[in-house]
Amino acid sequence: MTDPESAEIMIDTFLQLCEDRQLDEASTYLAADVDIIFPGDRRYAGLHDMAAASKGRYAWVRKNRIRYFVAEHTNANGDREQVVTSIGTLFGENNDGTAFADVRYVDIFTIRNDLIVRQEVWNDLAENGIIHVTSEGK
Protein backbone atom coordinates (compact mmCIF):
# COMPACT_ATOMS: atom_id res chain seq x y z
CA MET A 1 0.00 0.00 0.00
CA THR A 2 1.36 3.38 -0.96
CA ASP A 3 1.50 6.36 1.35
CA PRO A 4 -1.48 8.80 1.17
CA GLU A 5 0.42 11.42 -0.83
CA SER A 6 1.44 8.82 -3.44
CA ALA A 7 -2.16 7.57 -3.68
CA GLU A 8 -3.32 11.15 -4.31
CA ILE A 9 -0.67 11.66 -7.00
CA MET A 10 -1.63 8.35 -8.60
CA ILE A 11 -5.28 9.35 -8.89
CA ASP A 12 -4.45 12.85 -10.11
CA THR A 13 -2.20 11.37 -12.81
CA PHE A 14 -4.88 8.84 -13.78
CA LEU A 15 -7.52 11.57 -14.10
CA GLN A 16 -5.21 13.73 -16.22
CA LEU A 17 -4.46 10.82 -18.55
CA CYS A 18 -8.20 10.20 -18.91
CA GLU A 19 -8.85 13.87 -19.71
CA ASP A 20 -6.06 13.82 -22.29
CA ARG A 21 -7.63 10.65 -23.77
CA GLN A 22 -4.44 8.68 -23.17
CA LEU A 23 -6.69 5.76 -22.28
CA ASP A 24 -4.17 2.97 -22.86
CA GLU A 25 -1.70 4.58 -20.46
CA ALA A 26 -4.47 5.39 -17.95
CA SER A 27 -5.65 1.77 -18.12
CA THR A 28 -2.33 0.62 -16.61
CA TYR A 29 -3.62 2.05 -13.30
CA LEU A 30 -6.68 -0.25 -13.37
CA ALA A 31 -7.12 -3.76 -12.01
CA ALA A 32 -8.24 -6.34 -14.59
CA ASP A 33 -11.66 -6.59 -12.89
CA VAL A 34 -12.17 -2.84 -12.34
CA ASP A 35 -15.71 -1.59 -11.76
CA ILE A 36 -16.32 1.93 -13.14
CA ILE A 37 -19.70 3.37 -12.14
CA PHE A 38 -21.14 6.60 -13.58
CA PRO A 39 -24.36 8.45 -12.68
CA GLY A 40 -27.47 6.47 -13.55
CA ASP A 41 -25.65 3.29 -12.48
CA ARG A 42 -23.92 3.09 -15.87
CA ARG A 43 -21.16 0.50 -15.38
CA TYR A 44 -18.04 -0.07 -17.40
CA ALA A 45 -15.28 -2.67 -17.28
CA GLY A 46 -12.71 -0.36 -18.86
CA LEU A 47 -11.90 3.12 -20.07
CA HIS A 48 -12.43 2.52 -23.80
CA ASP A 49 -15.91 1.17 -23.06
CA MET A 50 -16.64 4.20 -20.86
CA ALA A 51 -15.36 6.70 -23.47
CA ALA A 52 -17.39 5.10 -26.26
CA ALA A 53 -20.58 5.19 -24.17
CA SER A 54 -20.00 8.84 -23.24
CA LYS A 55 -19.82 10.06 -26.86
CA GLY A 56 -22.75 12.27 -27.69
CA ARG A 57 -23.42 13.30 -24.08
CA TYR A 58 -21.32 16.49 -24.44
CA ALA A 59 -18.62 17.79 -26.80
CA TRP A 60 -15.90 17.69 -24.12
CA VAL A 61 -15.46 17.93 -20.37
CA ARG A 62 -12.52 18.47 -18.01
CA LYS A 63 -12.07 18.63 -14.25
CA ASN A 64 -10.90 21.38 -11.97
CA ARG A 65 -9.62 19.11 -9.21
CA ILE A 66 -9.84 21.07 -5.97
CA ARG A 67 -8.93 18.61 -3.22
CA TYR A 68 -8.36 14.98 -2.33
CA PHE A 69 -9.09 12.91 0.74
CA VAL A 70 -7.28 9.61 1.35
CA ALA A 71 -8.41 6.94 3.82
CA GLU A 72 -7.33 3.37 4.51
CA HIS A 73 -9.44 0.44 5.63
CA THR A 74 -9.74 -3.32 5.59
CA ASN A 75 -12.53 -4.64 3.36
CA ALA A 76 -14.85 -7.56 4.14
CA ASN A 77 -12.33 -10.04 2.66
CA GLY A 78 -9.57 -8.76 4.95
CA ASP A 79 -7.74 -6.90 2.16
CA ARG A 80 -6.18 -3.51 2.92
CA GLU A 81 -7.52 -0.78 0.63
CA GLN A 82 -7.11 2.93 0.15
CA VAL A 83 -10.06 5.11 -0.76
CA VAL A 84 -9.22 8.34 -2.54
CA THR A 85 -11.94 10.95 -2.99
CA SER A 86 -11.45 13.70 -5.56
CA ILE A 87 -13.71 16.76 -5.26
CA GLY A 88 -13.96 19.63 -7.70
CA THR A 89 -15.87 21.10 -10.60
CA LEU A 90 -16.39 20.21 -14.24
CA PHE A 91 -16.12 22.56 -17.19
CA GLY A 92 -16.52 21.97 -20.88
CA GLU A 93 -18.73 22.39 -23.89
CA ASN A 94 -22.18 21.02 -24.57
CA ASN A 95 -22.99 19.39 -27.91
CA ASP A 96 -24.55 22.64 -29.16
CA GLY A 97 -21.32 24.57 -28.48
CA THR A 98 -22.50 26.16 -25.22
CA ALA A 99 -19.78 26.37 -22.61
CA PHE A 100 -20.44 25.22 -19.05
CA ALA A 101 -18.44 25.52 -15.84
CA ASP A 102 -18.65 25.13 -12.07
CA VAL A 103 -20.55 21.83 -12.18
CA ARG A 104 -19.81 19.86 -9.00
CA TYR A 105 -18.29 16.39 -9.10
CA VAL A 106 -17.04 13.79 -6.65
CA ASP A 107 -15.02 10.75 -7.73
CA ILE A 108 -14.38 7.96 -5.25
CA PHE A 109 -11.58 5.52 -6.05
CA THR A 110 -10.79 2.27 -4.28
CA ILE A 111 -7.18 1.12 -4.59
CA ARG A 112 -6.04 -2.39 -3.73
CA ASN A 113 -2.53 -3.72 -4.40
CA ASP A 114 -1.63 -0.37 -5.99
CA LEU A 115 -4.34 -0.66 -8.68
CA ILE A 116 -7.74 1.01 -8.99
CA VAL A 117 -10.40 -1.65 -8.44
CA ARG A 118 -13.40 0.72 -8.37
CA GLN A 119 -14.25 4.24 -9.49
CA GLU A 120 -17.56 5.82 -8.55
CA VAL A 121 -18.43 9.04 -10.40
CA TRP A 122 -20.95 11.53 -9.03
CA ASN A 123 -21.75 14.87 -10.68
CA ASP A 124 -24.42 17.49 -11.32
CA LEU A 125 -24.32 17.47 -15.15
CA ALA A 126 -27.96 16.38 -15.41
CA GLU A 127 -29.07 18.62 -12.55
CA ASN A 128 -27.56 21.61 -14.37
CA GLY A 129 -29.17 20.68 -17.70
CA ILE A 130 -25.85 19.91 -19.40
CA ILE A 131 -27.00 16.41 -20.30
CA HIS A 132 -30.50 15.06 -20.53
CA VAL A 133 -31.25 11.75 -18.91
CA THR A 134 -33.95 9.45 -20.22
CA SER A 135 -35.84 6.93 -18.13
CA GLU A 136 -33.17 4.38 -19.18
CA GLY A 137 -30.44 6.57 -17.64
CA LYS A 138 -28.77 7.35 -20.99
Going from N- to C-terminal start, the domains of the chain cover: 4-123
CATH number attached to the domain at 4-123: 3.10.450.50
Interacting residues of 36 by C-beta distance below 8 A, sequence separation 6+: 43, 44, 45, 46, 47, 50, 118, 119, 121
Instruction: Tell me what pLDDT residue 127 has.
Output: 83
Instruction: Tell me what pLDDT residue 18 has.
Output: 95
Instruction: Tell me what pLDDT residue 137 has.
Output: 47
Q: Are 105 and 63 in contact (CB under 8 A)?
A: yes
Instruction: Tell me what pLDDT residue 22 has.
Output: 97
DSSP type of residue 48: H
- Positions of the chain with pLDDT under 70: 132-138
pTM of this prediction?
A: 0.90
